[in-house]
Amino acid sequence: MKKLLFSLTILSTIFVGCSTDDDETTIQPIEGELTGSITTNRTIAFGNYTLNGIVTIESGVTVTFDAGSTITANATNGVDAIVVKNGGKLIMNGTASQPIVLTEPSATPGSWGGIIMYGDAPINGAGGVTTKTSEDGLNLPYGGTNAAHNGGTLRYVRVEYAGKKITDGTSEMNGFSFYSVGSGTTLDHLVSYKGADDGFEFYGGTVSATNLISYGNFDDSFDWQDGWKGQNNSNWYAYQVGTGNFGMEIEASNNNNAYWPVITNITLKRATGTVTEGGSSAAEYDAIQFKKQGNGDFSNVLISGYTTAGSTAVRIQDAGTNTDQVNANKIKLTTVKILDGTSQYLGAGALTVSFPAGQYTTSDAATGASITSGTWATVNGTNLIQ
């Protein structure tokens, strides 16, 4: 089993200089490499690190990164990713002015695998299964009974140019992938920037997330399945530019669950000229799509830019979802504002959708996500909150 390697190219990590009045101490970043399996607790000091391959945090191990650190993957060395196995913990406590940034020098979407976290919180997969194998090409198990699973803390973290396709060319990683992650995990002030798949994807579990930005991701900004039921989500912001499919793709693996996620303060925006990943033939251009029994409670929702012919703010994709979720009051969208005249909701094909009273309401008072910008949400001088 490989160990975590560090290649220190700076001889001194502390530079001490003198001013006319006081001594000033400047902490210089360490240079190093991350590779292999991490099998003992580690604190990774403030620095610039290269990511070589799939780095795994093993069960029982906690790895902590200092604020302001940069981790750089490289598409030329194979598949790179940071993987937190069930029982492991990743602590990335950046700040608004000193985020932890994971990037790739070619600035090409799909260059690496992003952050992937596994837990043992409950899932409800297709056919009612309670455990599954991951679809990221790693073929790791997920699912369990530990609703309070704690995979660590990700705060003020930005992932750039992830979403790599691996193995057979169809298995895909996202910016952030959460497999049966539990409610003991903290996800706050995270950015997924210009990835080739989804910005954020939840595979079951009970974790909640606040202050998320999905910017320029090729597939869906936010996606979930397997009965994800996070209850304390707020301030989700998506801006699709260039290439992008759904703002939110919502499904429950064809299970008519008695529960659903709750999200408040949502902004879904699509820039003029943005096309779907599959081209004009792929009708994946709606702000929100519900399918396969997907449901949820969403409030204070702002939608703009989904103006492609045939698109809508909310799409109900199949008759089962319409019957079991819409008509049974398991989909609720309140205080919704659509800025550009896009239709409020439609059924796929000839499917007629009619929300019960109070389950879909509009309001000019809707403001959407309220997120404070800063260094953490700025790339190459561009503020991601447009």
DSSP output for 120-149: ------GGG-S-EE-SSSS--EE--S-TT-
Q: Residue 111: what pLDDT?
A: 96
Domain annotation covers residue 17: no
pLDDT for the residue 146: 98
How confident is the model at residue 71, as a pLDDT?
98
Please tell me the total count of domains within the chain.
1
Tell me how far CA of residue 141 lies from CA of 104, 144, 180, 287, in angstroms. 28, 10, 10, 31
Identify the residue whose tokens are 């698109």: 311
* HEC readout, 2-37: CCCCCCCCCCCCEEEEECCCCEEEEECCEEEEEEEE
Predicted pLDDT of residue 168: 55
User: How many C-beta atoms lie closer than 10 Å to residue 355's C-beta?
Assistant: 18
Domain assignment present for residue 174? The answer is yes
- Confidence (pLDDT) at 16: 29
Is 308 domain-assigned?
Answer: yes
15 domain residue, yes or no: no
Tell me what pLDDT residue 19 has: 35
The answer to whether 193 and 168 are in contact (CB under 8 A) is no
Q: 381: how many CB neighbours lie within 10 A of its CB? A: 5
In a domain, 205, yes or no: yes
Per DSSP, 213 falls in state E
A 10 A CB-CB count for 124 gives: 23
In whole angstroms, what is the distance from residue 175 CA to residue 235 CA?
Answer: 18
- Examine residue 8 and state whether it is found in any structural domain, yes or no: no
Per-residue DSSP letter, 356: P
Residue 13 lies in a domain: no
Q: In this structure, are residues 199 and 249 in contact, taking their beta carbons and an 8 Å threshold?
A: no
Q: How far is it, in rounded angstroms, from Cα 224 to Cα 42? A: 31
Q: Please report whether residue 1 resides in a domain.
A: no
Q: What residue type is assigned to position 218 of the chain?
A: F
Backbone angles phi, psi at 8, to 5 degrees: -90, 115
The one-character DSSP state at 170 is: T
For the chain, the C-alpha Rg in angstroms (whole number) is 21
Instruction: Please give the chain's pLDDT, 386 residues, in tens.
Output: 334 443 333 323 332 233 334 444 567 889 999 999 999 999 999 999 999 999 999 999 999 999 999 999 999 988 999 999 999 999 999 999 999 999 999 999 999 999 999 999 999 999 999 999 999 989 999 999 999 999 999 999 999 999 997 655 567 899 999 999 999 999 999 999 999 999 999 999 999 999 999 999 999 999 999 999 999 999 999 999 999 999 999 999 999 999 999 999 999 999 999 989 876 545 788 999 999 999 999 999 999 999 988 899 999 999 999 999 999 999 999 999 999 989 999 999 999 999 999 999 999 999 999 999 999 999 999 999 98
Question: What is the torsional sign of CA 8, 9, 11, 15?
Answer: negative
Reduced to 3 states (helix: H, G, I; strand: E, B; else coil), residue 281 is coil
Torsion sign over Cα 180, 191, 198, 362: positive
Closest CA to 199 of 241, 251, 147: 241
- Among residues 86, 61, 81, 90, the alpha carbon closest in space to that of 140 is found at 86
Q: Which domain holds residue 173?
A: 26-379
**For residue 326, which phi and psi values (nearest 5 degrees)?**
-65, -60
**pTM score above 0.85:** yes
